[in-house]
Amino acid sequence: MNTGPSESKPTLTLLPKSPTGIRGLDQVTNGGLPAGRPTLICGAAGSGKTLFSMEFLVHGAKTYNEPGVFVAFEEKTDELTVNVASLGFDLKKLQEEKLIKLDHVHVERSEIEETGEYNLDGLFIRLGYAIDSIGAKRVVLDTIESLFSGLTNQAILRAEIRRLFEWLKEKKVTTIITGEKGDASLTRQGLEEYVSDCVILLDHRVENKISTRILRVIKYRGSVHGTNEYPFLIDQEGISVLPVTSLLLNHEVSSERVSSGIPGLDKMLGGEGFFHASSILVSGTAGTGKTSIAGSFVNESCKNGKKSIYFAFEESPMQIIRNMKSINVDLQEHIDNGLLLFNATRPTLSGLEMHLLSITKLVDKFKPEVVVLDPISNLVTVGSTSEVKSLLTRLIDFLQSRQITVMFTALALNDNKAEQMDEGVSSLVDAWILVRDIESNGERNRGLYVMKSRGMKHSNQVREFVIADDGLKLVEVFLGPEGVLTGSARITQQLMEKTSVALRDHAVTRKDREIERKRSVLEARIASLQDEFESIQEELNKTYVEDELKKSIMEENRKELTRKRDDLQ
Amino acid sequence: MTKWDLEGEQEWNDGQQAPQHYTLRLFITGASTNSIRAVNNLKEICETYIKDRYTLEIIDVHQERSIAEKEELIALPLLKKLTPYPERRLIGDMSDTAKVLKGLGIPEI
């Protein structure tokens, strides 16, 4: 979405514009309708031409201080007043304040006899008087083609209409001329030939029994303008055109993180959760807990004081609130605090573009930080896959430009191919969480994968996703010798492991005791050998001592003998 | 604004046989060619067919522009036949005499 390249423009005299005040249209036309020139609004019956031009006048009178004249060729002024009262426009009051003047021009062929040359001076004078009396800057002629049914001389009429437009230009009033759509041309009487400055086409299309209103700027001389078909909405607040396009990819990014509300999932996402203002896709087969994930995400952000909107396309708010209660998530509390807004509609209520419009409108009004769409798969019922993809692209762009984190849930079909498709949005989103059924041993369990998560470290592991009474949990899957085990198989395996540990423990203690016993036996034997050694040692020592003793005594004796012999000499 | 004065008696109650009085009002825009032609043509027709039985009031819309909305004017010149009933509106420069007579309900002689 492009809002303001105008500030960089050089100081050339640009075409002055007259803002319509219609939401979004001024953006498409880069400022409004060409000021002081006529604009043709064409479209089939019921496409909103009268309302469009009336809004142009009322906004001009109320907001831009430009009084306006409404010349109605079809509706009586009273009828008009009543018709637009539903939009909150008080034409009576505006007329009293001399901001708007309504004039009903009644043309009936049966009452008029043509007797020669004539012109439309009456209309000129009438219009001129009306313009001058309130100082009008804006004029609506709705629809001037009625003149063709009232007057027969086409040559005169055409010349006069051409003169009228020239005259209005001279008067410097911004004019809207409405025209009914013709078979081959834009309008039945070829008014587009005379109005060459700006042509806007309104269309009302019905596809698959669902209607969409479309606006397109066919021509805008002297100005750049959006050329796409823009859907528009008529509701209690009048017309809003929302040019949700995906032209630019320049929105700001944030490195702030938001928790998913499931601690285990945050851990898988680098420990902190998703990036703020990113887009997250949660896909999975039926009954895998996508809504529960979305619910706890919303719950978490509301707990952190962030405003959130939950767009439900499948369940009613009551139903979601009740169901989320079963996993200990109280959403009602957040609704009461004004933090959470539920918007539940059937996708078939309106066309895709209308959905986009109402979403963007609500987002602009409520200004949430988190938006959940649950599920986007149902939108396919009202459009083709490529249309849904285009819608989601524009929605993501819109939300990211407003720094809103968005979570989509999508139903994936059971085969692997469809899992990769996911309405073709998996390539658009920043993070993709996949919940899959893992079926084995006669039971189904949920496996959660982080398929992608841009710009952060994320786990490549499969986690078992458990929905328990106290909330959502991620359990590490058990990798046994037989592969990945989940659910009761995991529990069985865990039990088996526990048993074997016990057995091993038991075995270890028995061996320990035997060692102890052996040790005491050996120690006893060592003690007796020691005794034996000591007695042998003693025995040996004894003879040794006797020998020593004998030796010393014999020495003594010999000495004695020697002395004695000496004495005898 | 000139008030139209009734010449003679009003006789529209007297049935078809009696000569009717025509009250006519012609709206023109200043001295444009169409206006001048319309005035001249109309006067000639009236003088020829309903001499002394008509009142003609000529209004220049430029002089009083608010009348345009009041009288629901679009195409000019416009001739309004106020009486006899029904009210009729004729536009143009009154050059097609047959159509003017038909519009006013005056039988051609």
Query: What digits encode the pLDDT tens for the residues A108-159?
Result: 777 788 888 888 888 999 999 999 999 999 999 988 888 888 888 888 888 9
Q: Which of A105, A112, A128 sits opposite B91 (nearest CB)?
A: A112
* Interface probe, candidates B91, B99, B106, chain A, greatest A C-beta count within 10 A: B91
- Strand B78-83 relative to strand B22-28: parallel, antiparallel, unpaired? antiparallel
Query: B94 in contact with A at a CB cutoff of 8 Å?
Result: yes
Flag whether B9 is in a domain.
no
Q: Cβ–Cβ of A113/B90 closer than 8 Å? A: yes
Flag whether B46 is in a domain.
yes
Query: A113 in contact with B at a CB cutoff of 8 Å?
Result: yes
Q: How far apart are CA A34 and CA A172, in angstroms?
A: 11
* Interface probe, candidates A95, A113, A133, A146, chain B, greatest B C-beta count within 10 A: A113
Q: Which of A115, A125, A129 sits opposite B91 (nearest CB)?
A: A115
DSSP letter (8 states) at residue B106: P
The domain that contains B35 carries what CATH number? Answer: 3.40.30.10
Flag whether B34 is in a domain.
yes
| Residues of chain A predicted below pLDDT 70 | 1-11, 243-250, 413-424, 480-483, 569
Flag whether B49 is in a domain.
yes
Return the axis-axis angle of helices A77-85 and A49-62, rounded to nearest 10°.
Answer: 80
Structural domain harbouring B92: 20-103
Model ipTM over 0.90 = no
Query: What digits encode the pLDDT tens for the residues B6-41?
Result: 444 444 444 455 567 889 999 998 888 889 999 999
Query: A117 in contact with B at a CB cutoff of 8 Å?
Result: yes
Q: How far apart are CA A233 and CA A230, in angstroms?
A: 10
Flag whether B67 is in a domain.
yes
Flag whether B85 is in a domain.
yes
- Report the greatest alpha carbon distance in chain B: 40
Return the residue matching tokens 């807990």: A289
Within A64-190, where are the H helices?
77-85, 91-96, 121-134, 146-150, 154-170
DSSP letter (8 states) at residue A307: -
Residue A532 exposed, middle or buried by CB count within 10 Å (0-12, 13-18, 19+): exposed
Residues in chain A with CB shorter than 8 Å from the CB of B91 are: 112-115, 118, 151
Dump strand ranges (E) for B3-53: 22-28
CA distance A69 to chain B (A): 13
Confidence of residue B2 (pLDDT cuts 50, 70, 90): very low
Flag whether B11 is in a domain.
no
Q: Cβ–Cβ of A113/B93 closer than 8 Å? A: no
pLDDT at B63: 87
Q: What is the count of structural domains for chain B? A: 1
Q: Cβ–Cβ of B41/A106 closer than 8 Å? A: no
Q: Cβ–Cβ of A113/B72 closer than 8 Å? A: no
CA distance A149 to chain B (A): 13
Query: A123 in contact with B at a CB cutoff of 8 Å?
Result: yes
Neighbours of A536 (CB within 10 A): 10
Q: How far apart are CA A270 and CA A457, in angstroms?
A: 5
CA atoms in the 13 A half-sphere facing the CB of B100: 26
Flag whether B13 is in a domain.
no
Dump strand ranges (E) for A242-322: 257-258, 274-275, 279-284, 308-312
Query: What digits encode the pLDDT tens for the residues A497-530?
Result: 889 999 999 888 999 999 999 999 999 999 999 9
Q: Cβ–Cβ of B27/A122 closer than 8 Å? A: yes
